[in-house]
């Protein structure tokens, strides 16, 4: 007699097809993310240089530091999120917890401290890193959600398509709305206008993420066994796997007699005919013992005189 499978077995506890509300809830999540990310991408450098009066070098260094921090924090948070979902079975709560911090950190990036000089640069750097950390904390689980919501590849494709649609709407909305909001508060100064726009954008994005998370339904597969390795072990596996999975170089086997080595071939030359090997004792200068221009040209032209595609 076979042992019955438990109710939380991932092979038997599959949810039904995703409804329209589920699809829209997931796609709308990217509306919140892109409102913030695109808003920072479009207006933050201008705010640093023209409102905070930071030098272009300082503003660029802050952005560079943020990107370097992303390279460090992304794998750390991704591994932590994966280990947590192995215990709880859900990604959604992570998005809920980070929705408000993301919105607040976006507002802080467009706020000016009362001090001046070096304090402003430190404030800009700190708020920038806090924003990127909070964003990663929610974006990593969000990107992994389709695998938890459905096992159907067509449904996952539809989720990705809706995500792209909402992202395009958000990018256009923040690009148009931010200058209008800045102008609406122009009487209080441009800095106040950007702060007002940041408050509106941050609050809207946080609300969208909260509503999106409330409408999500993850697969009831339950928690799975924790991996044998610890957190640092998972991080080491990720690092070693990154080096093991480097793109392989294109290669081709040589035709020379007795030569079984693989030699690299440039991708542009991979489809070109390889030179014919010279016969033993033949004249190396003989034009018919190697691939000449006529052979090369003829091999690239078909019987009708057109190039091979």
Cα 224 to chain centroid distance, Å, stands at: 26
Statement: residue 303 has pLDDT above 90: no
Phi, psi of 4 (to 5 degrees): -65, 145
Give the pLDDT confidence of 3-17 residue by residue, as tens digits. Answer: 434 333 443 344 567
The pLDDT tens digits for 231-271 are 555 556 655 666 666 665 544 444 444 444 444 444 444 44
Task: Check residue 288 and give its pLDDT.
Answer: 46
CB-based contacts of 195, cutoff 8 Å, min separation 6: 107, 110, 111, 112, 185
State residue 35's pLDDT score: 96
Residues 6+ apart with CB under 8 A from 122: none
Given pLDDT bands bounded at 50, 70 and 90, which one contains residue 140? confident
CB 29 within 8 A of CB 170: no
Q: Contact, 68 vs 128, CB < 8 A?
A: no
Q: What is the mean pLDDT of the chain?
A: 75
Among 21-30, 75-84, 200-209, the range scoring the smallest mean pLDDT is 75-84
Q: For 9-13, 109-113, 165-169, 222-226, which range has the lowest pLDDT when averaged over its residues?
A: 9-13
Spatial contact of 218 and 23, defined as CB atoms under 8 Å apart: no
Instruction: Compute CA distances 58 → 42, 61, 109, 124, 191, whole Å.
Output: 17, 5, 15, 10, 19
Rg (CA), the chain: 28
Identify the CA nearest to 90 among candidates 137, 144, 11, 134.
Answer: 144
Domains with residue ranges and CATH for the chain: 21-218 (1.20.1250.20)
The model's pTM is 0.68
């Amino acid at each position: 007699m076979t042992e019955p499978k438990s109710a939380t077995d991932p092979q038997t506890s599959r949810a039904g097809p995703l409804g329209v509300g589920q699809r829209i809830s997931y796609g709308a999540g990217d509306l919140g993310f892109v409102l913030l990310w695109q808003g920072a991408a479009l207006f933050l450098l201008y705010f640093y240089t023209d409102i905070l009066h930071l030098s272009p070098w300082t503003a660029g260094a802050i952005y560079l530091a943020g990107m370097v921090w992303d390279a460090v924090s992304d794998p750390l948070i991704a591994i932590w999120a994966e280990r947590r979902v192995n215990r709880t079975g859900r990604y959604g709560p992570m998005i809920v917890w980070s929705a408000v911090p993301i919105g607040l950190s976006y507002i802080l990036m467009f706020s000016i401290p009362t001090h001046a000089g070096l304090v402003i640069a430190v404030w800009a750097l700190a708020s920038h890193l806090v924003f990127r950390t909070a964003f990663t904390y929610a974006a990593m689980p969000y990107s992994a959600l389709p695998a938890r919501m459905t096992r159907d590849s067509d449904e996952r494709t539809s989720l990705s398509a809706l995500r792209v649609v909402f992202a395009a709407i958000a990018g256009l909305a923040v690009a148009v709305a931010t200058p209008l909001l800045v102008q609406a508060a122009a009487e209080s100064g441009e800095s106040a206008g950007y702060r007002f726009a940041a408050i509106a954008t941050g609050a809207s994005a946080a609300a969208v993420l909260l509503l999106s998370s409330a409408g999500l339904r993850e697969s009831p597969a339950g928690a799975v066994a924790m991996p044998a390795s610890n957190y640092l072990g998972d991080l080491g596996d990720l690092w070693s796997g990154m080096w093991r999975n480097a793109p392989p170089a294109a290669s081709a086997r040589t035709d020379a007699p007795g030569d079984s080595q693989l030699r690299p071939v440039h991708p542009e030359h991979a489809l070109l005919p390889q030179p014919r090997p010279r016969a033993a004792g033949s004249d190396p200068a003989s034009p018919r013992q190697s691939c000449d221009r006529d052979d090369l040209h003829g091999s690239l032209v078909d019987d009708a005189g057109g190039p091979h595609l």
